[in-house]
């Protein structure tokens, strides 16, 4: 089962995430002061695509960019070197995820799963924008 494949990856850094709709989970943001006592957590990630966005600090990106932010490392999405770095870290920490479960399967969201994770993430991000989830 590939559904929710990014959940574990994010859960390590996003405490008490709660399931929302369409693969989205909401939890507390690791990038800004998002006290667990606040009523509504501001960070959302998509466990299927790896896309994420914070309503509080406005940060957003794909799973690789998330990893880089956590590690305090710059990440250029056009850089092959950065991409290789992100993949190798994920392969090390989340072998299941890296092995990909990228097998062909029908995706209810209509996003082909033979796309790379980064591609899926950027699609999810675009859809996100289109839905006007931005609070600006």
Should residue 17 be labelled a site residue for Zn ion when binding is judged by CB under 5 A?
no
Question: What CA–CA distance (Å, rounded) separates 67 from 79?
Answer: 15
Query: 54 with 32: CB under 8 angstroms?
Result: yes
Query: What DSSP element (H or E) covers 98?
Result: helix 95-99
Question: What CA–CA distance (Å, rounded) separates 1 from 26?
Answer: 21
Should residue 30 be labelled a site residue for Zn ion when binding is judged by CB under 5 A?
no
**Vertex 11 angle, CA 10 and 16, to 5°:** 135
Cβ 91 to Zn ion, closest distance in Å?
27
Nearest residue (CB) to Zn ion, 114 versus 134? 134
Q: Which listed residue (5, 7, 28, 29) binds Zn ion by CB under 5 A? A: 29
Cβ 95 to Zn ion, closest distance in Å?
29
Should residue 135 be labelled a site residue for Zn ion when binding is judged by CB under 5 A?
no
Cβ 80 to Zn ion, closest distance in Å?
28
Binding mask 77-116 for Zn ion (x = CB under 5 A): ----------------------------------------
Question: Any residues with CB less than 8 A from the CB of 103 and at least 6 apart, and which?
Answer: 2, 113
Residues that bind Zn ion (CB under 5 A): 29, 31-32, 54, 56-57
């Amino acid at each position: 089962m590939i559904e929710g494949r990014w959940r574990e990856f994010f859960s390590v850094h996003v405490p008490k995430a709660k399931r929302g709709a369409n693969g989205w989970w909401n939890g507390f943001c690791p990038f800004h002061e998002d006290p667990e006592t606040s009523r509504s957590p501001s960070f959302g990630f998509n466990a299927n695509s790896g896309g994420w966005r914070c309503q509080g600090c406005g940060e957003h990106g794909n799973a690789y960019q998330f990893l880089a932010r956590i590690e305090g490392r710059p990440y250029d999405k056009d850089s092959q070197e950065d991409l290789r770095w992100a993949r190798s870290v994920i392969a090390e920490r989340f072998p299941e995820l890296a092995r990909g479960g990228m097998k062909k399967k029908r995706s209810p969201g209509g996003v082909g799963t033979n796309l790379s994770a980064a591609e899926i993430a950027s699609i999810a991000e675009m859809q996100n924008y289109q839905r006007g989830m931005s609070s600006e």
